[in-house]
Each structure stands twice: as C-alpha cells, then as structure tokens.
C-alpha cells in the first residue's frame, strides 16, 4: 500500500491528460445511471481499501472547515469557536478555513481520527466518489487521484466501464 501511495503523484501525473479527456467527455455525455455506477464502484473499492492503512488524505492535505464544522468541533473541545480557529486553523486564498499544518493535528499515530465523531463534513465525504452528479466535481477528482489511492482506482475502473 505505501509504495502505491508514494507513487501516486507520478501515476496521477501520467494519467492526467487521459483522465481530463475522460471527464470532459463524461460531462458532455453523462450516462443516465452514473449515480448508481459510482455508488457501486465506491463500495467495491472501499471493501478492498482500508483507510486505516493509508490516511494519506489526513497526512498530506486537509479538509475545509465550514462554520458548522467549527461550531461542532469547538463544542467538542469546550472551546470558543474563535479559540479553536486560532489554535488549529488558518484562512486560505479563497477565504476558507483550513488546517494550519499537515499532517492533521487530529490524526493519531495509528491513523485513527481523534475527532472522528465530530470530524468535518469534508472528511466524512472524502474522496467524494459516491456523491451524486459526480461529473460535476471532475476538477477536484483530478487532484484527488494524486492523493487518494481509492479515488485513483475508482477513476481507472470508471474508464473501463464507461466508454
Ligand atoms: S480516503 Fe483515500 S486517501 Fe484517505 S485514507 Fe482512505 S484511501 Fe487513503
Ligand atoms: S479531522 Fe480527522 S479525518 Fe479529518 S483530516 Fe483530520 S484526522 Fe483526518
């Protein structure tokens, strides 16, 4: 698994043009049952892939924290939202709250998330491969295949299935 994760940026770079073409075509001609296909591919992939053996998303990138996320997580720590923000977050170029540092401060040594029950919505939905109208997030997916081995595999399977 670790070798695959280490090679992902290169593998994703090699596949970038092919993937981009595929998603451009998918947007123009979207199969009616795409939501169903994605649900199936997502479930099959995550039966094989154990996130606890990976945690690459938590180690190399971080989620956006919405106001609701901040409210919920601050409450969990019994902090005021502003205290939580100044301790853990910064504002990025697009005015979104993101982690100050990666790996994420809430990632434990055994790859468990120490705030799993209250983690940001973006963490619980990553890599978004089971979301509806998947073709609409192709730019994000083109980036995610360089981070997430499961997303990489799912896109490879999509290309085999959808001609
Ligand atoms: S979502 Fe992807 S990158 Fe994150 S831990 Fe699971 S397989 Fe790894
Ligand atoms: S909050 Fe939890 S799931 Fe989200 S990046 Fe941090 S450790 Fe990973």
Contact 148, 57 (CB under 8 A): yes
- Can you tell me the distance from the alpha carbon of 142 to that of 19, in angstroms, rounded to the nearest whole number? 7
User: Do residues 15 and 153 touch, judged by C-beta distance below 8 A?
Assistant: no
What would the mean pLDDT of 91-112 be, rounded to a whole number? Answer: 97
Spatial contact of 120 and 84, defined as CB atoms under 8 Å apart:
no
Check pocket membership of 126 for ligand 1, CB cut-off 6 A: yes
Confidence of residue 1 (pLDDT cuts 50, 70, 90): confident
Confidence of residue 56 (pLDDT cuts 50, 70, 90): very high
**Predicted TM-score of the model (pTM):** 0.95
pLDDT at 114 over 90: yes
- Per the CB < 8 A criterion, the answer to whether 135 and 30 are in contact is yes
Handedness of CA 6, 97, 63, 59 (dihedral sign): positive
Of ligand 1's listed atoms, the one at least distance from the Cα of 56 is: 3
Residue 129 Cβ contacting ligand 1 at under 6 Å: no
Does the structure show a pLDDT above 90 at 107? yes
Model confidence at 71, in pLDDT bands (50, 70, 90)? very high
Mean of pLDDT over the chain: 97
Beta-sheet strands, E only, within 51-129: 89-91, 97-99
pLDDT in tens, 84-94: 999 999 999 99
State residue 33's pLDDT score: 96
- Nearest C-alpha neighbor of 60 from the set 1, 16, 107: 107
pLDDT, tens digit (0-9, with 9 covering 90-100), for 119-153:
999 999 999 999 999 999 999 999 999 999 999 99
Alpha carbon distance 77, 137 (integer Å): 33
How far does residue 64's CA lie from ligand 2's centre (Å)? 11
- Which residue out of 1, 3, 120, 126 has the highest number of ligand 1 atoms within 8 Å of its CB and is therefore the one to mutate? 126
Nearest CA to ligand 2 atom 2: 113
Kindly state the DSSP code that residue 79 receives in the 8-state scheme. Answer: -
- Cα 148 to the center of its chain, rounded Å: 7
Ligand 1 pocket residue status of 8, Cβ below 6 Å? no
Query: Residue 157: what pLDDT?
Result: 98
């Amino acid at each position: 698994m670790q070798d695959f994760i280490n090679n992902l940026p290169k593998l994703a770079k090699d596949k970038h043009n092919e993937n981009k073409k595929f998603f451009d075509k998918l947007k123009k001609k979207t199969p009616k049952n795409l939501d169903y296909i994605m649900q199936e591919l997502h479930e099959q992939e995550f039966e094989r892939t154990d996130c606890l053996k990976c945690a690459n998303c938590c180690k190399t990138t971080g989620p956006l924290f919405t106001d609701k996320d901040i409210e919920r997580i601050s409450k969990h720590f019994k902090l005021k939202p502003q205290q939580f923000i100044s301790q853990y977050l910064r504002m990025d170029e697009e005015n979104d709250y993101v982690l100050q540092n990666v790996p994420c401060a809430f990632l434990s040594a055994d790859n468990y998330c120490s705030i799993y029950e209250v983690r940001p919505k973006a963490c619980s939905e990553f890599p978004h491969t089971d979301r509806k109208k998947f073709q609409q997030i192709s730019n994000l997916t083109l980036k995610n295949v360089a981070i997430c081995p499961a997303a990489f595999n799912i896109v490879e399977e999509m290309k085999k299935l959808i001609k």
